[in-house]
Amino acid sequence: MAQDMTTIPTRVDAHVEIDALHHLRIGGCDAVELVNSYGTPLIVYDEDVMRRTIRAFHNVFRAAGVPYQISYASKAFCTLAMCQLVYEEGCGIDVVSGGELHTALSAGVPAKAIHMHGNNKTVEELRYALEAEIGAIIVDNFYELNLLDELTREYGREVDVLLRVAPGVEAHTHDFIATGRQDSKFGFDLASGQVQTALRQLTDLPFLRCVGVHAHIGSQIFDIEGFQLMIERLAEVYQYGLQKLGLPFRILNVGGGFGIQYTDEDAPPTTEILAAVIEAVKMAFSSRRMPLPTIWIEPGRSIAGPAGVTLYRVGSQKQIPGVRNYLAIDGGMTDNPRLALYGAKYHAVYANRADAAPEDTWSIAGKCCESGDMLIWDAALPNPQPGDILAVFATGAYTYSMASHYNRIPKPAVVFVRDGSAELVVQRETWADLMRRDLPLPKRT
Ligand code: LLP
């Protein structure tokens, strides 16, 4: 299958094929065979889709001729194989916890290619980051600034930091995932002068080298306006730090947030937005007569999301006359809580008869003891038959990484597919795995 490795497919199912058996093929692999080999629920990642997206980002930067770094936001999907794949494609890695840092380091990603975020990094996490000598720490608040000052004095070791700015920009996105607005737990507040105060403090801290500023205004963003406003505000901060305070600024990190297509309603202009972001940085810096910084982006969803397809076996049905048809699958909010949390929408087909015409609407329910455990409301699907396998598209980001053990349901297996071959990259959990940390009731005398 010859695929253009320089553009991002715009349709949610553009990367899959339907074969003569009417089966869905992902990365050249028959989805029904994958289920027979690995069971369900199964998250299948098409490696080429991820590699293609990253290469498309590289190409936009190269075409613009600017210094840059793409840091994969590993919170979207963080496993050994995933960290290896994105590093292989020339990305750094953004981590937000000791666990993500441990995964990236264990994957063989050099510490210098890793940077760490988080609004409440613990002392243990900061020690881990400092001892590993990671590339940069994004300082989020005054508490952390003091902690880092103390720790770096103790180690007698310098570290590069970026200052996280809350720029007061609200991206057009779901309310719960807008993180750049003023009333947010993340970052130093720009409007009240916290940013300037923190930068002034940084001029006095001997082991903290403040190399730039950062902001992230939200996720699943389709408009450029929020980015443009954020970049203007960051450029002002940058100018203050560089020209007034003489800080060794060289990085402008504009965060992630590039939207993807979940259903036909979404039309993400991902590469256009990135090109416009770069243009906005160029303008903001040239108009202030500042040298162009290295532009960092931190895409998570746009890399992992479109590549993932989750396969489930269908089970029970409930038809309520004149009300709704429910169809239950053998997973749900434990492997994908995004409908429950954000009202997310998804597109689905049956993998074993992928081109069958829809006959009715079926609402896809999970198997948890919770009414809100739904995956899709009113999906247009053929009427279900025993043995059907539901394939839900664009489920690669914030699904496995947000999976839970509610109702003691084991987490699914994950495979990467490419050129017709599949590799298991996360084993399916067993019931025994679920109890591994449990201890029996102590016998008290
Ligand atoms: N950088 C920072 C500082 C972030 O907080 C995030 C996401 C990213 C980068 C990556 O953003 P992305 O490119 O993936 O949009 N669980 C939610 C999304 C939460 C996003 C949190 N921060 C969801 O499932 O929609």
d(CA 105, CA 96): 13
Annotated active-site residue in 29, 210, 368, 369: 369
Q: Which residue has the tokens 């970052």?
A: 187
pLDDT values of the chain reduced to their tens digit, one per residue, 445 residues: 444 555 666 678 888 999 999 999 999 999 999 999 999 999 999 999 999 999 999 999 999 999 999 999 999 999 999 999 999 999 999 999 999 999 999 999 999 999 999 999 999 999 999 999 999 999 999 999 999 999 999 999 999 999 999 999 877 655 445 455 788 899 999 999 999 999 999 999 999 999 999 999 999 999 899 999 999 999 999 999 999 999 999 999 999 999 999 998 888 888 999 999 999 999 999 999 999 999 999 999 999 999 999 999 999 999 999 999 999 999 999 999 999 999 999 999 999 999 999 999 999 999 999 999 999 999 999 999 999 999 999 999 999 999 999 999 999 999 999 999 999 999 999 999 999 999 999 999 8
Bridge partners of 95, per DSSP, are 116
pLDDT of residue 321: 97
The residue nearest atom 19 of ligand 1, judged by CA position, is 177
d(CA 355, CA 10): 20
pLDDT of residue 8: 66
d(CA 248, CA 234): 15
pTM of the predicted protein model: 0.96
* 398 among annotated binding-site residues: yes
Structure tokens at 237: 């901060």
* 342 among annotated binding-site residues: yes
d(CA 93, CA 295): 15
Alpha-carbon distance values, 323 to 166, 345, 362, 363, 381 (Å): 45, 20, 11, 11, 17
Structure tokens at 211: 């190399």
pLDDT of residue 179: 55
pLDDT of residue 2: 42
Cβ–Cβ under 8 Å, residues 420 and 26 = no
Pocket test for ligand 1, best of 172, 176, 301 (most atoms within 8 A of CB): 301
How many alpha carbons lie under 13 Å from residue 324 in its C-beta half-sphere? 11
Residues near 71 by Cβ (< 8 Å), separated by ≥ 6?
91, 92, 93, 94, 115, 253, 296, 297, 298
Query: Can you list the domains of the chain with their CATH numbers?
Result: 6-39+307-434 (2.40.37.10), 48-304 (3.20.20.10)
- Residue 300 CB–ligand 1 contact under 6 Å: yes
Nearest CA to 381 out of 307, 440, 433, 312 is that of 312
pLDDT of residue 266: 87
Peptide bond into 382 cis (omega under 30): no
Structure tokens at 359: 């006959």
- Residue 302 CB–ligand 1 contact under 6 Å: yes
Annotated active-site residue 210? The verdict is no
The ligand 1 atom at the shortest distance from the C-alpha of residue 221 is 15
* 437 among annotated binding-site residues: no
Pocket test for ligand 1, best of 120, 213, 298 (most atoms within 8 A of CB): 298
Burial of 124 (0-12, 13-18, 19+ CB in 10 A): exposed
- Cα(298) to ligand 1 centroid in Å equals 9
Residues near 418 by Cβ (< 8 Å), separated by ≥ 6?
27, 28, 46, 47, 48
- Residue 76 CB–ligand 1 contact under 6 Å: yes
Element spanning 405, H or E: none
CA geometry: angle 158, 66, 2, nearest 5 deg? 115
* 72 among annotated binding-site residues: no
Q: Please spell the DSSP secondary structure of 185-224, one letter per residue.
A: SSSEETTTTHHHHHHHHHTT-TTEEEEEEE----SSB--S
